[in-house]
Amino acid sequence: MKYSIIGNGIAGVCAAETIRQLDRAAEITLIGDETFPPYSRPMISHVLDGSLSSEKLPIRSSRFYDDLKIIPVLGSRVSAIDVDRRVLTTTDRKETTYDKLLIATGADARPVVAKGVDLKNIFYMRTEAHIRSIIECLPTAETALVLGGGLVGFKAAHGLLKRGLKVTMLITSGYPLSMQVDETAGQMILAELLKSGLTVRVGTSVMAFEGKGKVKRARLSDDSTLSCDMVIVGKGVSPSLAFVPKEKIKIDHGILVDHHLQTTIPDVFAAGDVAEAVDITRKRRWINAIWPEAAAQGCVAGANMAGRHVVYPGSVSRNVMRVMALDVMTLGLVNPPDDFGYKVMAHADRRRGRYRKLVFRDNVLVGAMLINDIDQGGILLSLIQNEIPLKIPDRVLMDPSFNFGKLIA
């Protein structure tokens, strides 16, 4: 059996490992754009802030491909898939045939829409290569502008601050992490950011970048200008699927997959940030472009490709981050739609920097947000993922002393 996997991110790597476990004789080809050994994408920010060298990024040994007898085709992108002939074409016009295919190309940083984006020293922060070019630029920069108040924006701002730059963070919405948290938490996080020496401007976006060759200024939506020597854009990601034959493989925002992670074409699977599966809490199709789901999907897709019937239960959006003195964990549906049927419990203790919010639907936990006291968050996630109806009073989950023992009556 000939397996081809496009993408050597965590989904592709997990799929390859699973296939090898189940099918010793399989011929596995892994086509990857990046030549760096399989590494931890979420950790690149630690290279930016100087706490980690890039040699520490790989999460598999340098012998990974040899050990698993995988044929690596690195540094090349797939340009076309012929699903009828089962042939892949790469940008260097080489053709590869396959019996089963996994598309795990992930997502690319969403480009910023503004004039002058072609100027030098405007960066994205998605790959190890991006980080390398950002670090190369650091000695020439004193002030930096970070676009986006999401996770990438956070990590970029934190890293640049640690490198001694003056950093301004520009957030289009009214408070940071607006996609993950509610306003109460957003304001707590904003206060924490300001305390750290960061300049934050909310409700503002960039209209244009100016400078001679290199970026020197940004013109903002409120008509003011801001001088900056470099810019990092963190405006989210979008699935990399330009090469996917859309008339054959059905696409919404991402590649549509069924509960075995198979696309609308038999023997073609998709996993990771490029795949659009079902969100357990939202009860609809959704892409949760996060590392743990990509890893889980890679394993499930690999097992199904190798002939086992493994069901992917759906994804749950989640994130955990440490913002200076605040530990922030968000799980599932934190901001439920203004709809009937949701019960929200929230308690903020600003003095101690604590906030706890739980969202229930029909006695099932569907969302949670914790600021500090995050140790027990995994139990809440497990309740959400498995849609377990609560048998104990819901207020017990609100108590900071909540622990696994409370669930065993």
Partner 1 sequence: MKEVIVQPEKCVGCMQCMVACATAHSQTKQLYTAILETPLPKPRIHVGAGVFNEGFPNRCRHCDPAPCMQACLGGAIFRDTATGTVLIDPDRCINCASCAMACPYGVIRFHEDCVAPPGKVVAVKCDNCDQRQSQGVVPACVEVCKTGALIFDEMTDAMKEKTNAVARSVSSGAETYPVSPVFALFKASKKAQLAVQ
List of residues contacting partner 1 (CB under 8 A): 40, 42-43, 46, 51-52, 56, 59-60, 291-292, 295-296, 299, 318, 320-322, 327, 329, 331, 374-379, 381-382, 392, 401, 403-406, 408-409
CB of 141 to partner 1, least distance (A): 25
Q: Choose between 116 and 292: whose C-beta lies nearer to partner 1.
A: 292
CB of 172 to partner 1, least distance (A): 26
Q: Choose between 56 and 283: whose C-beta lies nearer to partner 1.
A: 56
CB of 75 to partner 1, least distance (A): 23
CB of 381 to partner 1, least distance (A): 6
CB 90 within 8 A of CB 76: yes
CB of 331 to partner 1, least distance (A): 7
CB of 274 to partner 1, least distance (A): 20
Q: DSSP letters of 94-116?
A: -EEE-SEEEE---EEEPPP-SBT
CB 61 within 8 A of CB 120: no
Q: 163: closest CA among 146, 140, 138?
A: 138
* Contacts (Cβ under 8 Å, ≥6 apart) of 102: 3, 4, 5, 6, 7, 11, 12, 15, 269, 270, 271, 301, 302, 305
d(CA 237, CA 239) in angstroms, rounded, equals 7
Q: Choose between 327 and 387: whose C-beta lies nearer to partner 1.
A: 327
* Structure tokens given for 241: 């699927």
CB of 44 to partner 1, least distance (A): 11
* Structure tokens given for 123: 């960066």
Q: Choose between 265 and 379: whose C-beta lies nearer to partner 1.
A: 379
Q: Choose between 101 and 328: whose C-beta lies nearer to partner 1.
A: 328
CB of 279 to partner 1, least distance (A): 17
* Contacts (Cβ under 8 Å, ≥6 apart) of 353: 188, 192, 325, 326, 371, 372
Q: Choose between 360 and 402: whose C-beta lies nearer to partner 1.
A: 402
Q: Choose between 25 and 409: whose C-beta lies nearer to partner 1.
A: 409
d(CA 363, CA 349) in angstroms, rounded, equals 25
Q: Choose between 266 and 393: whose C-beta lies nearer to partner 1.
A: 393
In 23-166, which ranges are continuous DSSP H helix? Answer: 44-48, 64-67, 128-137, 151-162
Whole-number Cα distances in Å, 96 to 90, 135, 302, 303? 8, 37, 19, 22
Q: What angle do CA 356, 362, 365 make, to 5 degrees?
A: 35
Q: DSSP letters of 236-259?
A: -EEE--TTS-TTTS-BSSSEE--T
* Residues 114, 118, 122, 123, Cα dihedral to 10°: 100
Q: Choose between 190 and 381: whose C-beta lies nearer to partner 1.
A: 381
Q: Hunting for tokens 């199904």 — which residue is that?
A: 304
CB of 403 to partner 1, least distance (A): 3
